[in-house]
Structure 1
Amino acid sequence: MATASEKNSMYIETPEAFGDAGKNFDDDGRIKRSGTWITASAHIITAVIGSGVLSLAWAIAQMGWIAGPAVLFAFSFITYFTSTLLADCYRTPDPVHGKRNYTYSHVVKASLGGRKFQLCGLAQYINLVGVTIGYTITASISMVAVKRSNCFHKHGHEDKCYISNNPFMIIFACIQIVLSQIPNFHKLSWLSIVAAVMSFAYSSIGLGLSIAKVAGGSNHVRTSLTGVEVGVDVTATEKVWRMFQAIGDIAFAYAFSNVLIEIQDTLKSSPPENRVMKRASLIGILTTTLFYVLCGTLGYAAFGNDAPGNFLTGFGFYEPFWLIDFANICIAIHLIGAYQVFVQPIFGFVENSSKSRWPESKIINTEHSLNVPVLGSLNVNLFRVVWRTTYVIITAVVAMMFPFFNDFLGLIGSLSFWPLTVYFPIEMYIKQSKMERFSFTWVWLKILSWVCLIVSIISAVGSIQGLAQDLKKYQPFKPQQ
């Protein structure tokens, strides 16, 4: 057994140290993982199908029938391709028998090291923080939409029905404070499965309502091969900015690479994790792309160039009001689970860093057993309670300050897509496979990376411009759509 000093220095005992009890541990000394391609697919679908689907009709409207679907398919292919590269990097240097890496940043450190590891950590955690803020905004908008839907049904569609988002952000934050006390990401499979079911539900409702609207005939709806028309719907400058922002919205819709390693770390070791993760990624991305293309194109067909920024909360649909209510409740439930998928890596990073830096601290390292009705015995740590509660409160406050749905999503997607989805997976694959410089594969991988960098820059510029415009005309008590 390990000595006291070894335990205090984050020593991990090997499975052999436990004799027969070693059957309950993996090759790295941690409790045996039990995840499968089914649970991994659920995690991915939860992370990918989220608030991004709600803005796709608007995004397609900015680019039209040709460029819109083409951009969707391009992002889908690139995301899947780079996710397969990343899956092979979970273990290093060998993808099957190498040493495990528990987080995205650990993979970068093992493969690339040095300054790239620091830059990766910065990019990843900024993105994760941004996503949790974005989900707080989106969930509150959906909660507000339920009240507004009932208001429109009762008082008519011409009523203003202004409702502040802030109380609903507080409600969402309170729910997250409770869920955030779950100490282990591995315990969240049930939450991801529930959230995945919710994502299917509201995506299907939006899809069904769009089909019904198209089938019912919408002669006043204008669509075109190039999207919103210059001189009719927007100015030439607005057209350019909106197209840039639409690219960012689509990039956000496919943002999941930054939690792929954490998801892969939940998988049992046989069959090999990389093979299972590639299967889960394929299922997850094929499923989401199908929904995205259908929701985006049918939403555009239903609303035309006047497609709202969020087609379930922007009130392109008013009736049946009870179905709109149910869809928005599903969105809120889904985002409750998705928030946890993205916030757990942040929690883990801060808590593990704190334990390493202050191994003697009782506040940080001492666990207390607490009996909770229904849930049974739970481990409670004072530092974990205070830190996680503080984080949730801060994200809620920032969301109240910048409650802009499309712009915020576009900015997050723009900033995270190139470094986390494209650059680091490609660089790690090149390094791990010992690819020869200037070989054919090396050249086209580098070209892909540079093209994606340019796309990310222009979409970020468009989102920042949109955010600046929204701040100028922001009314705190008017619901944001």
Structure 2
Amino acid sequence: MPANMVSASPTPKEVESNEKWIQGDRSRHARWWYSTFHCVTAMIGAGVLSLPYAMAYLGWGPGTMVLAVSWCMTLNTMWQMINLHECVPGIRFDRYIDLGKHAFGPKLGPWIVLPQQLIVQVGCDIVYMVTGGKCLKKFVEMACTNCTPLRQSYWIVIFGSLHFFLSQLPNFNSVAGVSLAAAVMSLSYSTIAWVGSLAHGRVDNVSYAYKSTSSVDYMFRVFNALGQISFAFAGHAVVLEIQATMPSTPDKPSKIPMWKGAVGAYFVNAICYFPVALIGYWAFGQDVEDNVLMNLKRPEWLIAAANLMVVVHVIGSYQVFAMPVFDMLEKTMMKKFNFPPGILLRIVARSAYVAFTLFVGVTFPFFGDLLGFFGGFGFAPTSYFLPSIMWLAIKKPKRFSTKWFINWASIVIGVFIMLASTIGGFRNIVTDASTYAFYT
């Protein structure tokens, strides 16, 4: 065999380089407000614009109750995740999978946690591809009425192409500026959505009655609506990675600034979600679109600006959810395929991921149905009940105590939402796909 074909053992310097790449960026200098806008960017996204549509299937009472209960439940599980980050003295669980290994064991933990986290992150990025493309199309059509119209698929491709470049940013700290801009945009377009709906007023002959359809179809649509609401609470999948960027000392552990930032994010969450859901449903009733901005026509410049804000926001959101996936892909390629660390690894791994999410988004652009399906299948576990299960496994609260009951209530409700919305979302995708012309 030629000498250049012999696989030489890595030198100590190469081993050290590989380890540094695998370990990733370990600088921990983020401040509490970093967690606020990262969490806002992760949570407030495509889901907020579909909340009035979910209300149209749930109605005033059940819809408001589900939204309020979800807000309280996920705030509690967010608190649990933040406190479990350093539940073992001297050890920081910087990733969801690390905490899963500690809670369920090194073999079982990855099988429980990793699939759910990947579903959330990849599912979000697929939905954001669709959302970004649709809103970019809407913006250009409103801003340039004489322009030649393009297929929706082309707009999704145009939006997705930007991420081939942004995905080369190395870590969370490097996307802080993008994330901050995205958080500001989310607050802005949510405000435009509910203020625009309020200014529009109720449409003629508005109806708050349940949509007229078969009882079986309606049941599945209700299930899907539960998934759409759970999709709106998505920050848990990346909360440990966000907290990992913060400094921590025995006197001031990272959970203090992280919780401060999370509370700020949930305050922003509340002033976005509840007005959009309630006022959007009040204005358009059962005829509201699965993206409430599509119902608003006047003033055109403001609605066009709101659609552009959505585009900016989902650009940042895509990167926030993609960063942990990039990290996992690069480590897998290095460990399983002996791919050398460096720029080529980053380009290949990240470009392949962007291409995959772009392809799926172009092929299945069912905005509302995708929200319901991914919301149930991935978001309900990671945001509603997996943190509670890990809390019971690690902290072991006294049986029948208040904390014990709260955690079991979260588990029962979360499992129901997961099963119902997954079934509803998948059935609706199949039903809608039968009437959809692909790649149009």
| 1:435 partner amino acid | P
Q: Which residue of 2 aligns with 1:19?
A: none
2:92 is the alignment partner of 1:100: yes
2:368 paired residue among 406, 418, 427: 406
Equivalent position of 2:123 in the other structure: 130
Per the alignment, residue 263 of structure 1 pairs with 242
Q: How many residues align?
A: 426
Query: Among 8, 14, 19, which residue is 1:10 paired with?
Result: 19
Q: How much has 1:354 moved relative to structure 2?
A: 3.2
Match of 2:310 among 307, 311, 331: 331
Query: 2:275 aligns to what?
Result: 294
Aligned amino acid, residue 169 of structure 1: I
Counterpart residue type for residue 309 of structure 1: D
Q: CA deviation at 1:100?
A: 1.3
Q: Which of 321, 342, 352 is equivalent to 2:321?
A: 342
State how 1:22-101 maps to structure 2 within 5 Å: 31-94=26-89, 98-101=90-93
The alignment yields a C-alpha RMSD, in angstroms, of: 2.5
Does residue 145 (structure 1) correspond to residue 132 (structure 2)? The answer is no
Give the partner amino acid of 2:274: V
Note closer, same or farther for the CA distance 1:218–1:3 as it changes in structure 2 (3 Å cut).
closer
- CA distance in 1: counterparts of 2:402 and 2:192, whole angstroms: 46
1:220 aligns with 2:196: no
Q: What is residue 457 of structure 1 aligned with on the other side?
A: 419
Query: Which residue of 2 is the match for residue 420 of structure 1?
Result: 382
Q: Deviation string for 1:455-480 (max 9, x for gaps)?
A: 221111111111111101002365xx
Aligned-partner Cα distance in 2 for 1:6–1:476 = 48
Q: Given the superposition, is the C-alpha separation of residues 357 and 322 from structure 1 closer, same or farther in structure 2, using an over 3 Å criterion?
A: same
% same residue: 29
Deviations 1:431-468 (A, max 9, x none): 33243456553344223302220122111111111111
Contact (CA 8 Å) 2:103, 2:109: kept in 1 or not? no
Q: Describe the SS at the equivalent of 2:436.
A: coil
Checking the alignment, whether the CA contact within 8 Å between 1:166 and 1:400 is kept in structure 2 is yes
> What is the one-letter code of the residue matched to 2:340?
I
Say which of 90, 112, 135 aligns to 2:104: 112
Secondary structure of 1:100 counterpart? coil
Separation in 1 of the partners of 2:297 and 2:146? Answer: 11
* CA–CA separation in structure 2 for the residues paired with 1:438 and 1:66: 30
TM-score, length of structure 2 as denominator length: 0.90
Q: TM-score, normalised by structure 1?
A: 0.83
| 1:387-402 correspondence runs (5 A) | 387-402=349-364
* Residue 3 of structure 1, CA deviation: 5.7
Change (3 A) 1:243 1:7: same
Counterparts of 1:8 and 1:307 in 2: how far apart (Å)?
A: 54
Gaps of at least 5 residues in structure 2 are 1-10
Q: What is the CA–CA distance in structure 2 between the aligned matches of 1:444 and 1:209, rounded to whole Å?
A: 38
- Cα contact 2:362–2:439 (8 A) shared by 1: no
State the 1:9 CA deviation. Answer: 7.0
Partner of 2:223: 244
Deviation at 1:331, TM superposition (A): 0.4
Match of 2:4 in 1: none
Per residue, is there more helix in 1 or in 2? 2
Q: Is 1:317 aligned to residue 296 of structure 2?
A: yes
CA deviation string 1:329-381 (max 9, x = no partner): 110111001000000000011212333456xx5x522x4xxxxxxxxxxxxx1
Alignment CA distance shift 1:309-1:33 (3 Å): same
Letter of the aligned partner of 1:79 in structure 2?
Answer: T
Which residue of structure 2 aligns with residue 445 of structure 1? 407
Gaps (5+ residues) in structure 1? 13-27, 156-160, 368-380
